[in-house]
Copies of this chain bind each other. A is one copy, B any other.
Amino acid sequence: MSEIDTGVAAAEAEASPVGKIMLVGIGPGSVEHMTQRARDAIAEADVVVGYVTYIKLVADLLDGKEVVRKGMTEELDRAVHALEAARAGKKVALISSGDAGVYGMAGPTYEVLFQAGWTPDDPVQLEIVPGASALNACAALVGAPLTHDFCAISLSDLLTPWPVIARRLDAVAYADFVVALYNPKSGRRTRQIVEAQRLFLRHRRPDTPVAIVKSAYRRRQHIEFTTLDKMTDSDIGMLSTVLIGNSSTFVRDGLMVTPRGYANKYDVEQGFETRDGEKAGRSLSTGLLGWLETLQAQHTEGHTVADLARLHRLPVEYIAATLAEPVEVGAVAAVGEAEGEG
């Protein structure tokens, strides 16, 4: 609390009695990739609290503000500080790089607020300002790696037991997700990325494309393409995000792209004509209803549930449950619709 002058706080409280905490995701780090709301929130703030590196990224926006620079592991402390300043009537911008909700300050702040008895009816109001996360920023720089299902996993074991992390790595490597690894490595924490590689290599090809992006959209931005079997030889640090492709991801002309699946429906080499048995704007013939029909047919032909589970690489109980809820034959022909975006 040493940096808060409570006299000033009291004076400001008269003019603006209601304090507010704004959890601001500043995006990757360059001001032009911040949202207007993020800029406005910082402009509105009396106090700006954040990790010292992130404070530097918004230095141009801090004239005349009280600035509280905290160390990297002091998330709870930052949240406590913000709450105390807001209770004193100040507007506080608590900044996170990327998105405040993704390994950012939103979680610890709610934990601290709830512990302090705060509720949404409290005079201290709370706003979360979303931003582009590191995975969005890194993806934009390397091509289009996240075009299909993806996940984010932090390799930091400061708050998460390793078996939880390892189980997640194993599951998503098996299920062929594109994966963004946050906090992949640090000076002292070097074996986690080796273990991640080990788990991935059980399920994925050694030449699976990997991009390592350091300081995306910042001055020291650095991008390296490598492959799963070699990724631990690369320069990886605390400011790196590691993007591991799925089994379809390719690198061409220095761009990492994960196909969305158009090749399942269209003949990509022949003017994007629809393939036999597929319809534009409709579910694939191997989509849910088509697949359920196939499953019924295979079951009728004498395949056991256990056979089908092995064949389709899905749990026995799931196969049994779906077979128990039959789909009308011919339903697939009547069904179709459109695809959204993200």
**B-binding residues in A (CB < 8 A):** 25, 27-28, 31-37, 39-40, 51, 54, 71-73, 75-76, 96-111, 114-115, 119-120, 128-137, 139-141, 143-154, 156-168, 170-172, 174-177, 182-183, 186-189, 191-192, 195, 198-199, 202, 238-239, 252-255, 257-262, 264-266, 268-269, 272, 280-284, 286-292, 312-315, 317-318, 321-322, 327, 334-342
Q: Which residues of chain B have C-beta atoms less than 8 A from A25's C-beta?
A: 132, 136, 140
State the CA gap A262–B76 with chains docked (Å): 9
State the CA gap A158–B148 with chains docked (Å): 13
Q: Which residues of chain B have C-beta atoms less than 8 A from A146's C-beta?
A: 99, 101-102
A136 and B102 form a contact (CB under 8 A): yes
State the CA gap A279–B131 with chains docked (Å): 31
Closest B residue, CB atoms, query A265: B159
Q: Which residues of chain B have C-beta atoms less than 8 A from A265's C-beta?
A: 158-159
Q: Which residues of chain B have C-beta atoms less than 8 A from A144's C-beta?
A: 101, 106-107, 109-110, 128
B260 and A140 form a contact (CB under 8 A): no
State the CA gap A315–B157 with chains docked (Å): 20
- On whether A103 and B315 interact (CB within 8 A), knowing A120-B255, A176-B164, the answer reads no
A283 and B158 form a contact (CB under 8 A): yes
State the CA gap A177–B131 with chains docked (Å): 21
State the CA gap A130–B152 with chains docked (Å): 17
- On whether A130 and B139 interact (CB within 8 A), knowing A162-B291, A171-B171, the answer reads yes
Some 22 contacts from A to B, beta carbons below 8 A apart, are A32-B37, A33-B37, A35-B35, A72-B340, A102-B136, A102-B147, A103-B342, A104-B147, A130-B136, A151-B172, A157-B284, A158-B283, A160-B284, A161-B291, A162-B290, A163-B312, A167-B174, A172-B175, A186-B337, A188-B335, A192-B288, A202-B317
